[in-house]
Amino acid sequence: MRALLKSGLRRFAHALGENEQTSVHSPPRLPAGDRRATVLAVATQKGGVGKTTTSVNLASALARFHGKRVLLVDLDPQGHVNTALQQVVHKGGGRLSDVLTDDGTGREVLEIVTATGIPGLDVTPVDPRLGAAEDLLGTRIGKEFILRDALKITRTHYDVIVIDCPPNLGNLSLNGLVAADRVLIPCDPSPLALSGAQALLSAIGQISRLLNPDIDVLGLLMTRVDGRNVTLNQAIMAEVEESYGDAVVPVQIGINSDLAKAQHAGRDVFEFAPDSRGATQYRDLATWVVHQA
């Protein structure tokens, strides 16, 4: 009797699930493309180490110099991707928070993206409700998998999807990491940034055991490296090399005011200051990333 009741309940739940998929309220399913994007999360808990600067200029370099179709997902409620690209992001698109808090009707990130003036680069538009969505996510069953599921068809339309994560390990970052194939960890040469990277690495270990066995660390990217402070750099780099060895990305990003000015001007560094050191280094980073595929 108990078994019968259980299987009856299972059938009932299954039918409900099926109805949900085909409900009249469901948006029509989007056609699949013929690509299969690598999803690259740019993450670390420490704030201000260059996550957004890296996400924006890496995504842009992959589109500009490598002919990739790239989607840049702004998963940070601060909306800095959109501030950094405000002069080139086209109007339109929708809210990522609507996709993330949608009730199981299978909405896709692709439905809300918008194009930019950089050929090949799309972004998710600025979304003031993303912060509230983070709290709502906490109440959802399977909350860690929502972004991954919402990228299923979306990823068939791009070669690379770059996710700019917020500076914490909350539900939004967790969604970014569960959706990711690779994680790039920016880290400036400071003890706090190093311990942030270490905390993220142990979180990635847990995520790979429990939620996303495919996740892999692309590398630890040294950012905001002060070329003038040789002694401090050498000391910190020795520590970094000893702790992380091969995981350290062979391209470093130095302190370069053109990167900050470009962000302020709402353009990527390749348009704002194409001959700057920041432009060269982010271009080199993109070339390295392409060769890691």
Ligand X SMILES: Nc1ncnc2c1ncn2[C@@H]1O[C@H](COP(=O)(O)OP(=O)(O)OP(=O)(O)O)[C@@H](O)[C@H]1O
Where along the sequence are the contacts to ligand X (CB under 6 A)? Answer: 47-53, 76, 78, 80, 167, 223-224, 253, 255-257, 259-260, 263
Least distance (Å) between residue 142 CB and ligand X? 27
Nearest-approach distance from CB 32 to ligand X, in angstroms: 32
From Mg ion, ligand X, none, interface partner of 77 (C-beta below 5 to 8 A by class): none
Looking at the Cβ atoms of 110 and 123, the one nearer to ligand X is 123
Cβ closest to Mg ion, residue 79 vs residue 153: 79
Contact predicate 259/223, CB 8 Å: no
d(CA 252, CA 198): 19
Nearer to ligand X, 259 or 285 (CB): 259
Which chain residues interact with Mg ion by CB under 5 A?
51-52, 80
Choose from Mg ion, ligand X, none: what does 53 bind? Cβ within 5-8 Å by kind: ligand X
C-alpha 177/C-alpha 121 separation (Å) is 21
Q: In degrees to the nearest 10, what's the CA dihedral of 266, 271, 275, 278? A: 40
Adjacency order of strands within the sheet including 70-74: 114-115, 121-123, 70-74, 160-164, 38-42, 182-187, 216-222
When CB distances are held under 5 to 8 angstroms depending on the partner's kind, the choice from Mg ion, ligand X, none that residue 173 binds is none
Taking CB within 5 to 8 Å according to partner kind, which of ligand X, Mg ion, none is near residue 263? ligand X
**What CA–CA distance (Å, rounded) separates 279 from 163?**
20
Q: Among all residues, whose Cβ is closest to Mg ion?
A: 52
**Smallest gap from residue 232 Cβ to Mg ion (A):** 24
For ligand X, the closer of residues 7 and 257 by Cβ is 257
CB of 81 to Mg ion, least distance (A): 8
Distance, CA of 182 to CA of 293 (rounded, Å): 10
Judged by beta carbon, residue 53 or residue 60, the one nearer ligand X is 53
Q: Which of ligand X, Mg ion, none sits in contact with 259, Cβ below 5 to 8 A by type?
A: ligand X
- Cα distance between residue 56 and residue 58, in whole Å: 6
| Distances 167 to 44, 177, 185, 219 between C-alpha atoms, Å | 6, 13, 11, 17
For residue 201, give the 3-state DSSP assignment. helix
The C-alpha R_g of the chain, in whole angstroms, comes to 20
* Closer residue to ligand X, CB minimum distance, 38 or 223: 223
- Shortest spacing between CB 138 and Mg ion, in angstroms: 22
DSSP 102-153: --SS---GGGG-EEBSSTTEEEPPP-TTHHHHHHHHTTSTTGGGHHHHHTTT
Measured from the CB atom, the residue of 71 and 110 that comes closer to ligand X is: 71
Question: Closest distance between ligand X and the C-beta of residue 16, in Å?
Answer: 40
Residue 253 binds which entry of ligand X, Mg ion, none, CB below 5-8 Å type-dependent: ligand X
